[in-house]
Structure 1
Amino acid sequence: MTMDVCSLLLDEAPDAFVVQSPEGIVLHWSRSAESIFGYRAEEIVGRDLLDLIVPPGRAEEERDMRREALENGFAAVETLRRCKDGSLVFVSISAKTVRDGEGRPQYLIIGKQDVTQLKVMRDAKLVEARYGKLLESMPDGIVLVNASGCIVFANTQAEAMFGYEAGRLRGLPVEVLLPERLRGGHVAHRSGYFGQLRTRAMGMGLELFGLRQDGSEFPVEIGLSPLETEEGTLVTSAIRDITERKLIERALHEKNVELAQANAAKDRFLASMSHELRTPLNAIIGFTGTLLMKLPGPLNEVQEKQLRRVQSSGQHLLELINDLLDIAKIEAGKIELVVEPVDCRALVEDVVATLRPAAEGKGLAFAVEMLDEDLRLSTDRRAFSQILINLVQNAIKFTEQGSVTIRLARRIEGELALVEVSVHDTGPGIGEEDRQRLFAPFARITPRSGKFAEGTGLGLHLSQKLAAQMGGRITVDSASGDGSTFALLLPEG
């Protein structure tokens, strides 16, 4: 029989046939081999199969089979081989040695039968017998895939999720469950996963999509885990349809965008309107002060009382606007702190000089205790002064009798050195309910008299925000009837 006739017979055989030299070089590659593995004859003749269709980690298996065939005349094995597109197929391989007249090996004739579907049936039978009831009881869709990438088991939840009738997924490549655009990359990813098996928890941050039989896509989460059996390793995929969650996340995202836009608009409004309002207010307060100084002429008692009410209301409104503007700047990240060395004692004495008349006007003792004489900070002087003035003003406002005391001390927390400026008063104290909302914007505590004291309800909120910007914080120690201590803590240095 001539070589041409032999080649014709090999080409027309339903199984793949390969003729190799004893060294493993391909001399003939049949049409069935082209069909199974995807390589044309001109791509593979003259090369070693180890370089093309033998998966990583199975090279020694291929060499052992060749060695056995050359030594014993015949060898057989069922194993995995890699196609041109990266996918894996199960093949039953038989190799026979052809010898020349002197008994020396001349050719290796190798038959390769694709047994992928037979392997699927064996795997499916094993899984159903051993794990079927357990997998059917799982709340998620469960799909088991063997090394060839074929589905060997899909529970009822998975079939319903992807829109397939019972049993119709078995034997199909797992890529049928993926959108077309993801399939090519998934083949290589799947083959790589079988080469390095590991558990991947559900929700690992990958954005994944499934494809129903009707062509519709839906978002999924997938967890992977290997399952060792006597038939080989299977990969278990737990699949969860997260369409509803994505809809909720999208709605929340849209709401968050709307809220962010509304918040930005609020900040722009506050910044612009605060400047617009401060100009006429400053004029009103200024002209009211001029009238009260009686420069234009004398005032009667009623006129002076009314002008003082105008002046007081204008100053109160200006304080509110200033607080709102500062809060808007902080929220927008536009607050600019000027860090410079600050003499704590000198700053406290300036605040005391400013507010002593208000304390003495209520008959309160007003004292300063310097527990550490030489305390210096590198911080924003204006923000430091603003916080301290606010804490002292509150202490004076809510204390009807007794004293207000400012204490300056050094405090150590772990390895951190802090400067503590505390303001203690003998006022009515603050109950638990009021303490919970003390630093919220527009929060105002209810005094024993039942009447709210004057104030914007923004002072402590703004002070806490400023303290955070300076790397510090404000603490409060108080109980109803026992007075209050507010302390500003800032890193020393």
Structure 2
Amino acid sequence: MSDQPAASDSAASTNLQTALNAEVAFGLRPTVTGLGFLYLLFSIAHALVLPSPIKLPMVIVALSSVIFFGFWWWRLQSWRPAPELTHPLATLFIVVGGFNSVLHIWLSGEIHQSTNIAFILIGTGCLLLSWNWFIVASGAILLAWIAAIISLPTSPLTMHFIFMVVSATIAAATIQGIRLRTVKGLIKLRLQESTYKQELQEALIQIKMSEERFRALAEATSEGVVLQDEGVVMDANERFGEMFGYHRDEILGHSLREFVEPQSLQRAMQKYKDGAPYEVTALRKDGSTFIALVLGTNLPYSNRVVRVAAVRDITEQRHFENLLLTAKDDAEAANRAKSTFLSTVSHELRTPLNAIVGYSEMIYEDLIDRSMPELAMDMTRIRSASDRLLSLIDGVLTITDLDAEVVRLEYETIDLALAIGSISDQLQAKAQDNKNTVQLLGSQNWGSIISDDHKLRMIIYHLLDNAIKFTHAGLISISVQRLQHAAGGWLEIAIRDTGIGIAHEQFERIFEPFVQADSSATRQYEGTGLGLAVSMRLARALGGTIELDSRLGIGSTFTLHMPEHPTKPNVPSPQMSHANV
């Protein structure tokens, strides 16, 4: 804050110096004009009056001065010097005149020629408006004059002319001081006047622009805008009149109560007093009604406070909102019916399937005992197909329960190494069928986690089964990492494979029920497309999520993020480095 006054003073000083330079610049052309004519007269006088020894040099010097000042007279007609050049130019003109007079004294040897020096010094005070340049100009002339008179023989008039030159110098300094003070005062007044005029003009422009913006905004908006004083309409835009079926002029001077249903106004009165948006039933000229949303605020206006309000017709919006609510209720009812149907059908299918599985196992053992391997192999196929169908039914039931939010979570302490190891052993045969190698990375000293054991195992099982299914003659690795965040401890279980990979645009789809990466994969690889959908829903139910990182043709990494302790469902992991689906 302390730098602001200094900056303001610096700016004011700069403006003042610029104005002083402009005053000097205004006098440059008259000065060179006068000096040019003066030295033209001097050249004529020198040719007529001066004795022969000094006539020629003085005439040459005078004519040179005429040419010099004539050049600057011509140059200043089309060229305006920069403000910082005005005082140097004025000083140059003065010094040229002074050295002419000094040269005259030196050539003629006449001390009385010092009168010209006195005139030039006084002219210096009249032309310049800078003490620095005044000292430079007068100092240069005085030094040259002193050098000239020192070379002259002593004369009774020497002291007289010394006194005269000193007096002229004092007079010039006095004139300089008076002029500088007067001109500075005038310039300051002029600058203040200009500033006041500019500020006043800018204020008037801003007021006019503000009024125009308000009027343009009020007319351009799709909402009705009304200005009221104690409930009486002072002004309104055309849109406000159109909303109520009136011309704008018909509304002016009327009470707003005439345009609102009384009962709705009473209901909205408290919100009106609080300055909050409120809804009213508005009355049109033809007797019809519409729902209006009103938002108002107080504004100072001509020594009093008035109220400006924006009015929006939300009848159609309310209609669509009601339709959406109805559609939402219908969709939820249909979803509940679908879930109920799927659950019922799945349970009904499960009972005969259990019988098929049981009897196929019994027949298989009987066929083995009777040494009928071919028929036993057929029973194995029946058993395998039944298991897949049971898995599908279990997946559908799980999805249905999760969507209906009826899944019960039973938390307990789970040994991670034991759980993951048993799942890996369970899927070893399937991995070998695909010529895959499953590795558990690290020391496997992974500790424990508090979660639902059955559901956590189901998640890991589906993720590992998915990796084995879409990898052939490859490597599948399982790693576990613990992370600490402000939200608490988190666990990352990463399952990496070197399989077919997944295109980025398929990342979200593969977590939907009954979906694989693409139709060609569905044809080539068996599966219902429920495993990943079940895994994601279970992970979210347990407060975690699943992260996918994959490159087509290179492989995929599914990372299960789980809190170490029970937390609210659907809470995302605090660290996501890849696509979080």
TM range (shorter): 0.5 to 0.7
Displacement of 1:165 after TM fit?
4.5
Instruction: Give the corresponding residue for 1:143.
Output: 226
Q: Over aligned residues, Cα RMSD in angstroms?
A: 2.8
Asked if structure 2 preserves the Cα contact closer than 8 Å seen for 1:428 and 1:448, the reply is no
Find 2:238's aligned residue among 132, 144, 156: 156
Instruction: Give the corresponding residue for 1:261.
Output: 333
Q: What TM-score, normalized to structure 1?
A: 0.66
Q: Comparing 460-469 with 396-405, which one deviates more in the overlay? A: 396-405
Q: What TM-score, normalized to structure 2?
A: 0.56
Structural mapping, 1:405-484, within 5 Å: 405-413=477-485, 416-446=488-518, 451-484=523-556
Question: CA–CA distance in 1 between the matches of 2:369 and 2:217?
Answer: 98
Identify if the C-alpha distance between structure 1 residues 179 and 414 changes in structure 2 by more than 3 Å, giving closer, same or farther: same
Asked if structure 2 preserves the Cα contact closer than 8 Å seen for 1:437 and 1:443, the reply is yes
Runs of at least 5 residues in structure 2 that lack an aligned partner in the other structure = 1-210, 566-581
Find 1:208's aligned residue among 270, 280, 299: 280
Q: Comparing 245-254 with 325-334, which one deviates more in the overlay? A: 245-254
Question: CA–CA distance in 2 between the matches of 1:482 and 1:131?
Answer: 62
Displacement of 1:373 after TM fit?
0.9
Asked if structure 2 preserves the Cα contact closer than 8 Å seen for 1:371 and 1:409, the reply is no
Displacement of 1:215 after TM fit?
3.4
Question: CA–CA distance in 2 between the matches of 1:218 and 1:386?
Answer: 56
Asked if structure 1 preserves the Cα contact closer than 8 Å seen for 2:238 and 2:247, the reply is no
Displacement of 1:370 after TM fit?
3.5
Flag the structure with higher helix content.
2
Q: Comparing 177-186 with 390-399, which one deviates more in the overlay? A: 177-186
Find 1:361's aligned residue among 407, 422, 433: 433
Identify if the C-alpha distance between structure 1 residues 132 and 422 changes in structure 2 by more than 3 Å, giving closer, same or farther: closer
Question: CA–CA distance in 1 between the matches of 2:334 and 2:371?
Answer: 48
Identify if the C-alpha distance between structure 1 residues 481 and 229 changes in structure 2 by more than 3 Å, giving closer, same or farther: same
Find 1:404's aligned residue among 476, 499, 504: 476
Q: How many residues align?
A: 355
Question: CA–CA distance in 1 between the matches of 2:443 and 2:249?
Answer: 83
Match status 1:175 vs 2:257 = yes
What CA deviation, in whole Å up to 9, does each residue of 1:413-467 have, x standing for no partner? 4553222222222222222233242212211124988843111101101101100
Question: CA–CA distance in 2 between the matches of 1:436 and 1:129?
Answer: 51
Instruction: Give the corresponding residue for 1:317.
Output: 389
Amino acid at match of 2:362: T
Identify if the C-alpha distance between structure 1 residues 383 and 133 changes in structure 2 by more than 3 Å, giving closer, same or farther: closer
Displacement of 1:254 after TM fit?
1.4
Match status 1:383 vs 2:455 = yes
Asked if structure 2 preserves the Cα contact closer than 8 Å seen for 1:375 and 1:419, the reply is no
Displacement of 1:306 after TM fit?
3.7
Question: CA–CA distance in 1 between the matches of 2:380 and 2:412?
Answer: 38
What CA deviation, in whole Å up to 9, does each residue of 1:157-181 have, x standing for no partner? 2222112344333333212222121
Identify if the C-alpha distance between structure 1 residues 363 and 377 changes in structure 2 by more than 3 Å, giving closer, same or farther: same
Identify if the C-alpha distance between structure 1 residues 189 and 256 changes in structure 2 by more than 3 Å, giving closer, same or farther: closer
Find 1:219's aligned residue among 279, 284, 291: 291
Asked if structure 1 preserves the Cα contact closer than 8 Å seen for 2:513 and 2:530, the reply is yes
Question: CA–CA distance in 1 between the matches of 2:330 and 2:246?
Answer: 41
Asked if structure 2 preserves the Cα contact closer than 8 Å seen for 1:179 and 1:209, the reply is yes
What CA deviation, in whole Å up to 9, does each residue of 1:303-349 have, x standing for no partner? 34443332222221111111111111111110001011111111112
Question: CA–CA distance in 1 between the matches of 2:468 and 2:493?
Answer: 16
Instruction: Give the corresponding residue for 2:466.
Output: 394
Asked if structure 2 preserves the Cα contact closer than 8 Å seen for 1:426 and 1:483, the reply is yes
Asked if structure 2 preserves the Cα contact closer than 8 Å seen for 1:391 and 1:486, the reply is yes
Match status 1:346 vs 2:418 = yes
Match status 1:331 vs 2:397 = no
Identify if the C-alpha distance between structure 1 residues 223 and 400 changes in structure 2 by more than 3 Å, giving closer, same or farther: same
Question: CA–CA distance in 1 between the matches of 2:427 and 2:285?
Answer: 78
Question: CA–CA distance in 2 between the matches of 1:139 and 1:415?
Answer: 47
Question: CA–CA distance in 2 between the matches of 1:130 and 1:347?
Answer: 70
Structural mapping, 1:53-92, within 5 Å: none
Flag the structure with higher strand content.
1
Displacement of 1:296 after TM fit?
9.3
Asked if structure 2 preserves the Cα contact closer than 8 Å seen for 1:467 and 1:473, the reply is yes
Displacement of 1:476 after TM fit?
1.8
Question: What percent of counterpart residues are identical?
Answer: 31
Match status 1:270 vs 2:352 = no
Question: CA–CA distance in 1 between the matches of 2:433 and 2:385?
Answer: 20
Amino acid at match of 2:366: K
Name the SS of the counterpart of 1:294 in structure 2. Answer: helix
Q: Comparing 131-140 with 311-320, which one deviates more in the overlay? A: 131-140
What CA deviation, in whole Å up to 9, does each residue of 1:195-221 have, x standing for no partner? xxx6x5xxx4x4433222333321122
What CA deviation, in whole Å up to 9, does each residue of 1:135-155 have, x standing for no partner? 4444321222102x2222233
Rg (Cα) greater in structure: 2
Identify if the C-alpha distance between structure 1 residues 176 and 359 changes in structure 2 by more than 3 Å, giving closer, same or farther: same
Displacement of 1:261 after TM fit?
0.5
Runs of at least 5 residues in structure 1 that lack an aligned partner in the other structure = 1-127
Find 2:309's aligned residue among 224, 237, 240: 237
Amino acid at match of 2:451: T
Amino acid at match of 1:462: V
Displacement of 1:357 after TM fit?
2.1
Question: CA–CA distance in 2 between the matches of 1:227 and 1:343?
Answer: 69
Question: CA–CA distance in 2 between the matches of 1:215 and 1:296?
Answer: 91
Q: Comparing 287-296 with 323-332, which one deviates more in the overlay? A: 287-296
Displacement of 1:230 after TM fit?
1.0
Asked if structure 1 preserves the Cα contact closer than 8 Å seen for 2:367 and 2:373, the reply is no
Question: CA–CA distance in 2 between the matches of 1:447 and 1:458?
Answer: 15
Amino acid at match of 2:539: A
Displacement of 1:277 after TM fit?
1.1
Match status 1:303 vs 2:386 = no
What CA deviation, in whole Å up to 9, does each residue of 1:76-129 have, x standing for no partner? xxxxxxxxxxxxxxxxxxxxxxxxxxxxxxxxxxxxxxxxxxxxxxxxxxxx99
Displacement of 1:285 after TM fit?
1.5
Instruction: Give the corresponding residue for 1:112.
Output: none
Asked if structure 2 preserves the Cα contact closer than 8 Å seen for 1:445 and 1:452, the reply is no
Question: CA–CA distance in 1 between the matches of 2:212 and 2:389?
Answer: 80
Name the SS of the counterpart of 1:223 in structure 2. Answer: strand
What CA deviation, in whole Å up to 9, does each residue of 1:35-73 have, x standing for no partner? xxxxxxxxxxxxxxxxxxxxxxxxxxxxxxxxxxxxxxx
Identify if the C-alpha distance between structure 1 residues 340 and 161 changes in structure 2 by more than 3 Å, giving closer, same or farther: same
Name the SS of the counterpart of 2:251 in structure 1. Answer: coil
